[in-house]
Amino acid sequence: MPADAVLIENGLVFDGTGTPASVAPVAFDKIIRAVGPAALDWARDQADVRRIDANGMTVMPGLIDAHCHISFDEPHSNDELFFHRREGLAAIVAAYNARKVLRAGVTSLFDADSIFSVSLDLRDAIEAGIAEGPHMACGGNALFTSVGGTAGMLVPDEGAIGYLKVTRTRDEIVAEIRRQAKRGVDWIKIHVTGIIPRQKASGEIQVWNRDELQLAADTAHELGLPIVGHCRNASSTRDAARAGFDMILHATFMDDAALAAVVDRKVPIVPSLTFQAVLAEHGDRVGANPELRETFRREIAEGGRALRQAYDAGVPLLCGSESGFSITPYGEWHWRELQVLVEDLGLTPLQALACATGEGARAFGRPGQLGLLKPGLPADVIVVRGDATTDVTLLGRPGGLAHVFKDGVRIDTETPTPPRGPLPSWRVSAFSAAPATRAATLGWDSDGEDR
């Protein structure tokens, strides 16, 4: 679908850099043509222009979700994800869910690991115009060691299952990274930490050693690929940073050595605390263990202090929702990380918005070229009812998005997504609760008002 010429007037413009917003016109077709008085000049030269009055609204870049599992389809358990998914059906369902994500104002997403090759195929289908969804950057199967990860005994000693591939030796690490390069991944992901039975340390432990991380990073970089690590303890974050990882997911529980390592190398971090925040606040609705909820509260509070120190020292923070699980359904919580950054890390709304837009371009290897309202860049634009530069939760209010444009094409956010029926053997959870939607957890009605 070709992009029309569009002129948005009277809106409060946030350009994605974190600088104060101001009222200005914005003009675009497929790309941003001008912001400010030049926008009016460009519009006058067009034969037909769609004009939008954004008075009382915020005009800003589309959100970039830097941690979204688009291929998972909201499982309640790893058992469901590992043993009750079929590749072809998973791809069709992922395309259905990608539309939800786009309609939520997310015009770009990073999916670090995929079941089968679903995310890679969906990325290519979207780029070819076959499916509708955000711009995507993707990894393949996450690389695990034979120690395992967060799926416990479901992780095999060898081979692949779900979203992971076990690599037992140095040769297998190199071979798997090369295989994924051949398949067309944008990133290599390493699951650096995990959980084992009867471990003495709380939280997750490091399950890759420093030499293995260096080998993985060097191999990826030799092939021109960036590498990202799932790191949820201090030593893993420290060693991943020292090994030259290009981005770190979580980076919680950092100690002084880990903080020094990420600050020294300015490794971008995607805290991805939305999952913890939603489960801590609303986990009772899905039967979550009270102790787990309290653990997640502590992870936000304790981990947030070091993350803020890193941010203040110049480490880029990106927003990631970890959407794709039952507690973080697609289209529901992509804005929630901004609230965590403001309320728990103490960032200003402008700073948080920059983390969710301009900084997110780092997940695509395109800092300064995506997530900004700058002439010549893709016209990924959203219009939010109200002043999002003072209240980031407006991004999540039902009906809060007046307009969504991707590459200058307006996305239909008003027609409800067609309802889906059950898929045989797809859902096997013991939970009877529905997904933790905003309406169910926050008490908002369909108009975004408190009930």
Contact of 61 with 357, CB cutoff 8 Å: yes
Q: Which residue has the higher pLDDT, 299 or 104?
A: 104
Length of the chain in terms of residues written: 451
Contact of 262 with 251, CB cutoff 8 Å: yes
pLDDT in tens, 202-232: 789 999 999 999 999 999 999 999 999 999 9
Residue 162 pLDDT > 60: yes
Confidence of residue 451 (pLDDT cuts 50, 70, 90): low
Residue 431: predicted pLDDT: 46
Confidence of residue 2 (pLDDT cuts 50, 70, 90): confident
Contact of 143 with 167, CB cutoff 8 Å: yes
Residue 85: predicted pLDDT: 96
Q: Which of 42-51, 95-104, 344-353, 442-451 has the lowest mean pLDDT?
A: 442-451
Average pLDDT over residues 125-149: 96
Instruction: Give one word for 373, left, alpha or beta, with left for phi > 0 and alpha for psi -120 to 50.
Output: beta
Confidence of residue 54 (pLDDT cuts 50, 70, 90): very high
Q: Which residues are bridge partners to 160 per DSSP?
A: 165
Residue 432: predicted pLDDT: 43
Residue 448: predicted pLDDT: 65
> What 3-state DSSP class applies to 402?
strand
Confidence of residue 437 (pLDDT cuts 50, 70, 90): confident
pTM comes to 0.94
**Which residues 6+ apart lie within 8 Å of 128 measured at CB?**
none
Average pLDDT over residues 137-146: 97
Residue 336 pLDDT > 60: yes
DSSP H helices, 157-229, are 170-183, 210-222
pLDDT in tens, 253-311: 999 999 999 999 999 999 999 999 998 988 877 677 888 788 888 889 888 999 999 99
Residue 148: predicted pLDDT: 82
What's the rounded Cα separation, in Å, for the pair 269 and 249? 6
Percent of the chain with pLDDT over 90: 82
Amino acid at 30: K
Helices and strands (DSSP H and E) totals, the chain = 13, 22
pLDDT in tens, 395-434: 999 999 999 999 999 999 988 888 899 998 898 855 445 6
What mean pLDDT is reported for the chain?
94
Residue 175 pLDDT > 70: yes
Residue 149: predicted pLDDT: 82
DSSP H helices, 141-269, are 170-183, 210-222, 234-242, 256-265
**What domains does the chain contain, in order, with CATH numbers?**
5-61+375-410 (2.30.40.10), 63-334 (3.20.20.140)
Residue 445: predicted pLDDT: 65
Contact of 372 with 358, CB cutoff 8 Å: yes
Percent of the chain with pLDDT over 70: 96
**Which residues 6+ apart lie within 8 Å of 47 measured at CB?**
none
What's the rounded Cα separation, in Å, for the pair 197 and 217? 28
